Structure 1
Amino acid sequence: MTSSVSSSAANVTTLIKLNQVGYKPNSEKLAVIPAVAATTFTVKDAYNTVVLTANLSSAKTWTPSAESVKLADFSSITAEGDYTLTVDGVQNTASFKISANAYDALNAGAIKAYYYNRASIDLLEEYAGVYKRAAGHADTTVYVHESAATSLRPANTIISAPKGWYDAGDYNLYIVNSGISTYTLLAAYEKYPTYFQGQNLHIPESGNAIPDVLDEALWNLEWMLSMQDPNDGGVYHKLTSKNFSGFVMPSADTSARYVVGKTTAAALDFAAVMAAASRIYKPYDATLSTKMLDAAKAAWVWAKTNPTVYYSQPSDIKTGEYGDGNVADEFAWAAAELYITTEEDAYFADFNQSVGSADVPGWPNVKSLGLISLAHNIDSLSYVVDKDLLKSRLNTLATNISSQKTTSAYGVPLTSGDFYWGSNSGALNKALMLTVAYELDNTKTNYLKTAQSLLDYVLGRNPTDYSFVTGFGVKYPQNVHHRPSGSDTVAGSIPGFLAGGANGENKTDCTTPYPSTLSAKSYLDAQCSYMTNEIAINWNAPLVYVSAALQNLTE
C-alpha cells in the first residue's frame, strides 16, 4: 500500500549522509558532509560524551550529483554502541550504530524478501505476519506457447510448472534472471556455509535439515527444473501471462499463463545453476543432486546443438524479454560450473580462459559468475585452470574499482555512467567482486574498504539520503514498484527489498516530476517509478552476498 512519506531534494543536499543500518567495529566508517565552513566534526556516544573530534577532508565536487562535499572518517571508533555525529553549520545530527552483528538482520531480511515473492503458495500469518496473503499463480495449468511448440509438445499443450519467485514488481518468471539470482544465493552459501547454517529465517521450511537460504533457493530451483522440456533438454525462456497484470494481489491475477520460447541463454543459465546446485545440495539430498546434474548436462547438450537460438518476442506477448544476442559468456559460465561439479576437464575447454577479463556481472553478462565459482573452489581445481591468471584477472578488476573510490568526493567507486536502471545492484555487484578478490589476497584491505563503501552507499551514504532497502535504516522507500506492496492493505512496502536506485536515463514512467535530472539524484519513491523504484530478484541477490561477506570478513 502506498505511503505519503517524502522529502524535498533541496533539503537532502544539506544533510549528513552515512550508513543508516550500522557498522562492524573494525570497518571503515565514513560520512558525507555538505561543504560548510567547518573543518572538524564531533562524535558523541549514547551518554553524550565526546569520543572523537577530527578533521574533515577538503571539499570536492561529485559530478554525478553536482555536490560539493567533505568526508568525515570515524573509523577509529570501534566500541559497540549508539553514536551521533555533528558538524557546525549542518542542521541535522546523524545517528549511527556499531555492532558485531551489524548485518545479520539485513542479510536475513534480504533473503526473507524472496519468501514474500513466492508464487504458488499461501503466505501464512505464522511466517509472513501482516504481509500474509492468499496464494497466486498455482501454475499447474500452463500452456505451451506457439513459440515454444514442438511435435511432442505442440502449441497449447498443458504442463505444470509451479513455485518459483516473481521476478520483480510483476508476476512473471524468467529463467535468465532466475539464473544469476539463484546462483548468487548459492554462491553466498558455498563461500560462507557456517554463517548460513546458523540462520533462522522463520519460513515454513525452517527447522528441517537444510539451511534456510538453501530452502528458499530450492523453491525457485524446483520451478526451474519444471521449465526444462524432458523430451529434448531445452529450457523455456520464461513463464508469463501475455500482458503485465494491473496492481492487484497475486490471487486476483487469473490470466492464462504460458511458457514462451526456448533459448540458448536460458539453457546455459539453467545448466550453470543446476550444476552449481548439484554440488551444494549433495550433502543434504543425493537424489536431488543427481537430478540437478542430469538436468544441467541435458541443457548443456541442447545448447551445444542449438548455440544461436536467441529470444525473439512473439507479437502477442508483452512481458519482459531478457533477450541476449551474445551467449559466449553463458557458455563460459556453464562450462565452469559443470567442470567444477563433475571434475571433468573436457567441460573447461568452453570456458576460454585465455579470452576476456573479469568484469562486474549482470544478467546479460555472466562470465564472471564462473570466475567466482572457480575462486571459491580454487584449492580443488585441476591443472587445466591457470590459477595465477584467475587471480590476476580478479585482482585487476578489484584494483580498477578501488581506484575509483580514492578520487570520488563521496568515497564510492561510482561515476555518472553507473546510474542506470537497477543501479543499486550494479554497485553491490562491484562490492561482490571486491570481496571475492579480497578472499584470494586478504592483504588487499582496500578491496574490503571499497566493498564497505558500496554497501554504505546503498544504505544511506548517497545523495538521496535513502537507505534503499525497504524496512532498514531511518529513511527507506515506502512506495516501491511491487504489486503485492502496492495492493495489500499495509502501509509502506514489504521489508527486505532493494529498490533499483537513482537512474540518469530519460524517464517517462511517472507524471510526478523527479526531484532532479542529475544522475545520482534522479530517484523517486513512488509506485509509478519502475525505472528507479522497482524491486527485482537479481537486485536483492548481491545484497544477500555482500552483507554476508562483510559480516564474515570484517571483525
Structure 2
Amino acid sequence: MQTSFLAAALLLSAATIKAQSPVDNIRLNQAGFYPAAPKMAVVTASEDDRFIIRKADGKTVVFSGTLGAVQRSPYSGKESRMADFSALRDTGRFVLEVTGAGRSHVFSIRPAVHDALAKAALKGFYYQRTLIPLNAAYAGRWSRAAGHPDTAVLVHPSAAGPGRVAGAVISSPGGWYDAGDYNKYIVNCGITMATLLSLYEDYPAYCRTMGTNIPESGNTLPDLLDEILFNLRWMLTMQDPADGGVYHKLTNPAFDGMIMPHEAVKTRYVVQKSTAAALDFAAVMAQAARVLKAFPRELPGLPDSCLKAAETAWQWAQQNPVVYYDQQAINNRFDPDISTGAYGDRNVRDEFMWAASELFVTTQKNIYQPDLQLPMQLPSWSQVSMLGYYSLLRAGHPLQAQLEKWVETMAAGVETQPYHTVMGGTARDFVWGSSAVAANQGIALLYAYRFTGKKIYLRHALGNLDYLLGRNATGYSFVTGIGGKTPMHLHHRPSIADGVAAPVPGLLAGGPNPGRQDGCKYPSTAADEAYVDDDCSYASNEIAINWNAPLVYLAAAIEALQEEL
C-alpha cells in the first residue's frame, strides 16, 4: 500500500469516476492476482495520470499509483497506458478506477487465485465426452443425454484393408468431441493428450489436488488421469489390429447442424489410415505407457498394451512414411464424400521426431534415437517436434541452451509491448486458435524457467495467462465462466442447442484471428482485436480440445509454482 493513497482518494472520489459499471477501457486479469506476484492493467482511455484501487464494495481506497507512459498498438494504432500495482499485497476483492476510463471488472488478490480456472479448464474435457450421459450431479445446468455411442461404426472405403473391408462394422466408443463439432480426430488428440500427460509428468503433486467432480472422482487415480483415460481407451480402438495402422478420424460425412449430441444420429465412419495419425498415436501411447506404469494395481496391463500399440504403430509408419491425409483425393475416389475437419499434414518429419523421442525416453532403445536437427518451434497440431524436445529435456538430455535461445527470441521486446505480454509480440501470433498460441508460449516459458531458474520466464508465463483472462486488446477473458466479461455465444453445438443461456464453462475461445475465415461481421480487423463473440464465428469463437489442454497446463503449472513468483 502506498502512503499517498489518501490524497489520491480525495482526488479520485467516487463522484469523479464517470463510469461506475465495468467498461472495456481497463483490461486486466479478471480472475485476479497472487499477493506477491506482478499485477498490471492496461488503460485505454484516461483523463488523469493517476489510478486508484478500491475494495470491491467501492468504499475503501487501498492503493494509488501513476499510469505509465503512453504506448501505441502496432496493430490498431490505439494508445494505452499501464497501471502497475504489483506493490499491493492486500488480499480481497477489488476494482481499479481511472478518471475518464471508469472502473475495471472486480478481481481478487489471494493465494491459489487460479485454482478454480485450472479445475474448470480440465472439467471442460468432461463436457466434451461422447458415449455417456452427463448427469446433473456432475454437469449441473449443462447436463445432457448421451451422444454418439460409436459402437457400430462403418469402415469407409478409404480405410479398407485385408482384415476390414469397406462397410465392415467396428466398435470405437468413448473419447472427446474435438471442438464445436461432434467428430473425433486422432491427429488433434496427439498434441492434446501429450500436453495433459506432460502436465502430470511435470507437476504430479498439484495434479493430485485437481478434483473436478467427474464420475470417476473418488477412485485412487487423479481426476486428470481419469479424464485422459477416457480418451486414451478410444484412441486404442482406432488402431487396425491387422497391421498396426491408425485411422485418421472417426466422423460423420458432413458436420451436424446446431443440435444436441443425442440428436445427431447420422452414420459414422473411420476414414483412411495416415502416417501422421500413426505417429501421433505412437507418441501418445509411448508417453502414456510410462505415466500409467505408476498405477499397476489400478490399471493392470494397460501400460504394456499402450507400449505395444505404440511400437506397432511406429512400425506401420516406418513401412508407410508418406501416407498423407488428402481429403479431396479421398473424395475423388470414394463415397461417401467426407467434408469434416481434415487435419491434413504433408510434412511428417516432426511427427517422426516426436514419436521417436517418446519411444526412446520410454524404452531406452537406441533404435528410437530421435532426429535433433529440427528447430525448436511452438507446438501446434501440425508441428509437434517441440513435444519431443520437452520429453527429452524432462529425461535429462542437455538441450537447455537451445531452449533458452529459442525462448529468448520469443520473448524479445516484451517490455515495449503495450500489453507487456509475450503474446502479441508479432502479428504471426494472431492465427486461428491464437488463444492456444498464448497458452503454448506460456508452457515454453515455464520449461525455460524450469531448466534455467530465471524467474523472468515464470513471470512472462504468468503474463500470458493474464492475457487470456482479460489483459488483451479485446477486453475479454477468453475462458467461459471465468471473469466479468467472457464469451457467451461460442461456436459450440451443445452451448448453442442446450437452452441454457450461459455456455458450457471452462472452455477457451479461439481468440483474435485476422484471417476471419468464417465471413462473420467483426468489430475490428486489427490483428489483436479481430474477435467476435458470436456463434457464427468458428474462426475466432470456437473451442477445441487442443486449445483447452495448454490452458489446463498453464493454469495448473502457475498454481503449482505460485510461491516462486
The corresponding residue for 2:374 is 356
Deviation for aligned residue 1:375? 2.2
With 336-345 and 529-538 compared, the bigger mean Cα shift is at 336-345
2:156 and 2:167 in contact (8 A); partners too: yes
The corresponding residue for 2:352 is 331
Q: Which amino acid is 1:262 matched to?
A: K
In 2: Cα distance, 1:436 partner to 1:321 partner? 31
1:169 and 1:483 in contact (8 A); partners too: yes
Q: 1:11-59, CA deviations, whole angstroms, 9 ceiling, x for partnerless residues?
A: 9996110000111222221100125352232223457443332222110
* Residue of structure 1 aligned with 2:497, choices 487, 490, 496: 487
Aligned ranges 1:82-481 → 2 under 5 Å: 82-284=93-295, 285-313=299-327, 314-315=330-331, 316-348=337-369, 351-353=370-372, 355-378=373-396, 385=397, 387=398, 390-413=399-422, 414=424, 415-442=426-453, 444-481=454-491
2:52 and 2:65 in contact (8 A); partners too: yes
In 1: Cα distance, 2:89 partner to 2:542 partner? 36
Deviation for aligned residue 1:473? 0.4
1:65 and 1:463 in contact (8 A); partners too: no
The corresponding residue for 1:4 is none
Q: CA RMSD in A?
A: 1.6
In 1: Cα distance, 2:504 partner to 2:394 partner? 33
In 2: Cα distance, 1:18 partner to 1:391 partner? 32
Q: Which amino acid is 2:555 matched to?
A: S
2:247 and 2:270 in contact (8 A); partners too: yes
- 1:516 matches 2:516: no
In 2: Cα distance, 1:221 partner to 1:62 partner? 43
With 535-544 and 459-468 compared, the bigger mean Cα shift is at 459-468
Deviation for aligned residue 1:419? 1.2
In 2: Cα distance, 1:290 partner to 1:36 partner? 62
With 182-191 and 399-408 compared, the bigger mean Cα shift is at 399-408
Deviation for aligned residue 1:404? 3.5
Q: Which amino acid is 1:470 matched to?
A: T
Q: 1:441-469, CA deviations, whole angstroms, 9 ceiling, x for partnerless residues?
A: 22x22111211111111101112111110
Q: Which runs of 4+ in 1 moved over 4 A?
A: 11-14
Q: 1:52-91, CA deviations, whole angstroms, 9 ceiling, x for partnerless residues?
A: 3222211010122321111111111223222221222222
2:148 and 2:262 in contact (8 A); partners too: yes
Q: Percent identity between the aligned chains? A: 48
In 2: Cα distance, 1:35 partner to 1:300 partner? 56
The corresponding residue for 2:50 is 40
In 2: Cα distance, 1:172 partner to 1:86 partner? 46
In 2: Cα distance, 1:535 partner to 1:545 partner? 16
With 164-173 and 445-454 compared, the bigger mean Cα shift is at 445-454
The corresponding residue for 1:545 is 553
In 2: Cα distance, 1:232 partner to 1:93 partner? 59
Q: Which amino acid is 2:138 matched to?
A: Y
In 2: Cα distance, 1:488 partner to 1:104 partner? 27
Q: Which runs of 5+ in 2 are unaligned?
A: 1-20, 332-336
1:509 and 1:530 in contact (8 A); partners too: no
Q: Which amino acid is 2:445 matched to?
A: L
Q: 1:93 to 1:455 in 2, by over 3 A?
A: closer
The alignment covers a number of residue pairs equal to: 530
Q: Which runs of 5+ in 1 are unaligned?
A: 1-10, 379-384
With 476-485 and 69-78 compared, the bigger mean Cα shift is at 69-78
The corresponding residue for 1:3 is none
Deviation for aligned residue 1:286? 4.2
Deviation for aligned residue 1:94? 4.4
With 304-313 and 397-406 compared, the bigger mean Cα shift is at 397-406
TM-score (ref. length: structure 2): 0.91
Question: Alignment partner of 2:141: what SS?
Answer: helix
Q: 1:127 to 1:135 in 2, by over 3 A?
A: same
In 2: Cα distance, 1:46 partner to 1:472 partner? 17
2:435 and 2:547 in contact (8 A); partners too: yes
Question: Alignment partner of 1:532: what SS?
Answer: coil
In 2: Cα distance, 1:417 partner to 1:66 partner? 17
Q: Which amino acid is 1:468 matched to?
A: F
Deviation for aligned residue 1:283? 1.4
TM-score (ref. length: structure 1): 0.93
The corresponding residue for 1:74 is 85
In 1: Cα distance, 2:237 partner to 2:215 partner? 22
Question: Alignment partner of 2:271: what SS?
Answer: strand
With 41-50 and 272-281 compared, the bigger mean Cα shift is at 41-50
Q: 1:207 to 1:506 in 2, by over 3 A?
A: closer
In 1: Cα distance, 2:101 partner to 2:510 partner? 29
Q: 1:258-314, CA deviations, whole angstroms, 9 ceiling, x for partnerless residues?
A: 000111100000000000001111111241000000000000111111111100112
Q: 1:332-373, CA deviations, whole angstroms, 9 ceiling, x for partnerless residues?
A: 11111111111223312xx212x1322210000000001111
Higher relative contact order (CA 8 A, sep 6+): 1
